[in-house]
Structure 1
Amino acid sequence: MRPELSAALDDLNSTLTTIEKVMDPEEMSARVRELEQQAADPSLWDDPDHAQQVTSELSAVQGKLRKLTDLRQRLEDLPIMYELAEEEGEGDELADEELADMRAQIEALEVQTMLSGDYDQREALINIRSGAGGVDAADWAEMLMRMYTRWAEKNGHKVDVYDISYAEEAGIKSATFVIHGDYMYGQLSVEQGAHRLVRISPFDNQGRRQTSFAEVEVLPVVEKVDSIDIPDADVRVDVYRSSGPGGQSVNTTDSAVRLTHIPTGIVVTCQNEKSQIQNKASAMRVLQAKLLEQKRQEERAEMDALGAGGQASWGNQMRSYVLHPYQMVKDLRTNYEVNDPSKVLDGDIDGFLESGIRWRMAQQQAE
């Protein structure tokens, strides 16, 4: 076997061994057996919420264990693939493809082991707001929303849109949506901050270059164990008719809901469900997530650690998307960059997520 190939396999083996030490397959197997016993109990579904938690965790742990076991077996089989190809006088193309695929999967799993925060395994609640830049900023906010929903679709994650406030000429003033799935908050929390777009404005008759900004806020979805109690007296509820594109009963009845948290002044709206009750429930989940984030900020005494960011403008951006005079997307924290903005804006952001998570881990270790 070629020396460089042996070195590559040794490197993958070392990384996978480290991952196994962190994830502990034996402990995971024991947890699977424990959860299987609970799932087999006929009385489990007497408490549907608890039953859902048990079955969801069982499925998640089984999936992780299966993936870890599969990667180990494939890595052990890889040298044999190369040996067979050499003995039969065939090329190494198939084995090389397997090596590349395994490297990508092991690196992705390595990144997941870095997601060990209290809320990292939660689903993600994302708020996008247009910033400086007028109509271009509103259009940019809508482009970012599409980028994240495309990423979710490509990775098999469901997206629920809670609220969209459309701008007058084009784009959106703001949007709130949830991306469902394990570790969505851990992965997407590194996207929080101001995103800057530079391009020839499609809204400028003179074809001038325009810089615009949008703010991305990422929060963990609140669960029942979070104990975020909101007294009814602390919330003002306003109902109104939904605006923007709709259909059926969406914008023909007063189904949209606006919640104002009186002690903090936080305002949340939801208008994408058909009924007022559904919109109020969704808005309450968003409000709880925002209050949970505020609580975490206060407890950590570092106001910018995980909380809602600042103003989307010059000096605050965490990533630049340049479409003119050259093509580049660059993360200003990690220096990771890509020269194909169209792919990034179509949801190809895994490289930015991975580099962001590694950067965050390095920052935490330095502290």
Structure 2
Amino acid sequence: MRPETSTLLDQLHATLDSIEKVMDPQALAATVRELEATAGDPTLWDDPAHAQAITTQLSAAQAKLRKLENLRGRLEDMPVMYELAEEEGDTALADEELTDLRGAIESLEVTTMLSGEYDQREAVINIRSGAGGVDAADWAEMLMRMYTRWADKNDHKVDVYDISYAEEAGIKSATFVVHGEYMYGQLSVEQGAHRLVRISPFDNQARRQTSFAEVEVLPVVEQTDSIEVADSDVRVDVYRSSGPGGQSVNTTDSAVRLTHLPTGIVVTCQNEKSQIQNKASAMRVLQAKLLERKRQEERAEMDALGAGGNASWGNQMRNYVLHPYQMVKDLRTNLEVGDPAKVLDGDIDAFLEAGIRWRMAQQSADAAPSGQSS
């Protein structure tokens, strides 16, 4: 085995050891056994909501345990795989497996960094077109496709709550939920302004156009969050759902618009056929927005007391350049790739991982005593 390969395997063993200290496979196995026993109780489904919560927890715990066991087994097999490959005089397949294994272990390592109060939650994503006219509306729709493609590739269900279509092309805004554990923790690093530079497909003179779209990421609110919304504080308007070309459910007043009177926050939902379902979905988004507002106010108070750093990432966090050259560059992490098409098709894991590591470094720097580096 080549010395550099042996060194890399030692590093991966050390990384996986540290991951297992955090995730504790023995404790996970015990949790799986307990949840399996609970799930086997014939009376469990007498309370469907509780039963759903148990089965969801069981599925998540089983998936974590399987991933840990799979990575450990693959890592233990690598020396034998290289020994056989070297006997045959071709280590290409072994090298490919090692590269893939390294990526999987480093990706799981990033997950262990997600220890924030809401990181384990599902994510509500709001996308709004910004400066750039019709190109910005088209860009907002491209971003929505990027995130939904990423979710689809990673087997995460997406529920679209609302889309406001632009007149010529694209969307003015969209709200959707990405389901799954740690979706907020992973996707929250995408919050900010995304800038696109390209030859405009809407310009007869084929001129270069710069356009912007804003991405907002919120944690899904749970019953324990204590976000009370009084009925008297919310104005409810109903209207007919709409879509491009008259598509969608547009024969009844099923779409719902909620206006939170004390803050002026407006939320709409039209994806469901029932007005009641749309109102419930819109209320979840409204509560998520109010929770985020509460967090920002608390953060501002702490910052005023000198207890925290500035969490704002500025107005522009990533550039996507399609002309005159091909590049996607994150302005916070300096991660740069030369294949925008692949990124826009949902291949954003490298940006998510780099963003999480960057955020951890920022938090460590903010937590360090004045005059000390982290």
Q: Is the 8 A contact 2:241 2:248 kept in 1?
A: no
Give the match's secondary structure for 2:221. coil
**Aligned residue in 1 for 2:264:** 265
**Aligned residue in 2 for 1:86:** 86
**Aligned residue in 1 for 2:185:** 186
1:30-49, CA deviations, whole angstroms, 9 ceiling, x for partnerless residues? 22222223223333323222
| Counterpart AA for 2:140 | A
**Aligned residue in 2 for 1:130:** 129
| Counterpart AA for 1:198 | V
Mapped partners of 1:249, 1:10: distance in 2: 56
List aligned pairs for 1:103-142, cutoff 5 A. Answer: 103-142=102-141
Matched, 1:293 2:292: yes
Q: Is the 8 A contact 1:151 1:348 kept in 2?
A: yes
Matched, 1:147 2:143: no
**Aligned residue in 1 for 2:158:** 159
Give the match's secondary structure for 2:204. coil
Give the match's secondary structure for 2:6. helix
Mapped partners of 2:18, 2:204: distance in 1: 57
> Aligned-pair distance for 1:301?
2.7
> Aligned-pair distance for 1:240?
1.0
TM-score using structure 1 length: 0.93
| Counterpart AA for 2:130 | G
**Aligned residue in 2 for 1:48:** 48
> Aligned-pair distance for 1:245?
2.9
Q: Is the 8 A contact 2:218 2:292 kept in 1?
A: yes
Mapped partners of 2:173, 2:334: distance in 1: 28
Report how many residues are paired. 362
Mean Cα deviation higher: 218-227 or 230-239: 218-227
List aligned pairs for 1:1-367, cutoff 5 A. Answer: 1-87=1-87, 89-245=88-244, 250-301=249-300, 316-367=315-366
> Aligned-pair distance for 1:63?
1.2
* Unmatched runs of 5 consecutive residues or more in structure 2: 367-374
1:41-82, CA deviations, whole angstroms, 9 ceiling, x for partnerless residues? 333323222222122111111111111112112111110111
CA change 1:52–1:247 in 2 (3 A) is farther
Mean Cα deviation higher: 208-217 or 50-59: 50-59
Give the match's secondary structure for 1:42. coil
Mapped partners of 2:59, 2:174: distance in 1: 31
Mapped partners of 2:45, 2:344: distance in 1: 43
Mean Cα deviation higher: 294-303 or 269-278: 294-303
Q: Is the 8 A contact 1:293 1:307 kept in 2?
A: no
Mapped partners of 2:259, 2:86: distance in 1: 69
Mean Cα deviation higher: 170-179 or 224-233: 224-233
Give the match's secondary structure for 2:77. helix
1:220-247, CA deviations, whole angstroms, 9 ceiling, x for partnerless residues? 1112222222111111000111222377
> Aligned-pair distance for 1:219?
0.6
Give the match's secondary structure for 1:301. helix
Q: Is the 8 A contact 2:137 2:172 kept in 1?
A: yes
| Counterpart AA for 2:37 | Q
Mapped partners of 2:273, 2:234: distance in 1: 22
Mapped partners of 1:212, 1:108: distance in 2: 31
Mapped partners of 1:41, 1:123: distance in 2: 28
CA change 1:307–1:251 in 2 (3 A) is farther
Q: Is the 8 A contact 1:237 1:260 kept in 2?
A: yes
CA change 1:362–1:248 in 2 (3 A) is closer
Give the match's secondary structure for 2:237. strand
* Unmatched runs of 5 consecutive residues or more in structure 1: none
Q: Is the 8 A contact 1:236 1:262 kept in 2?
A: yes
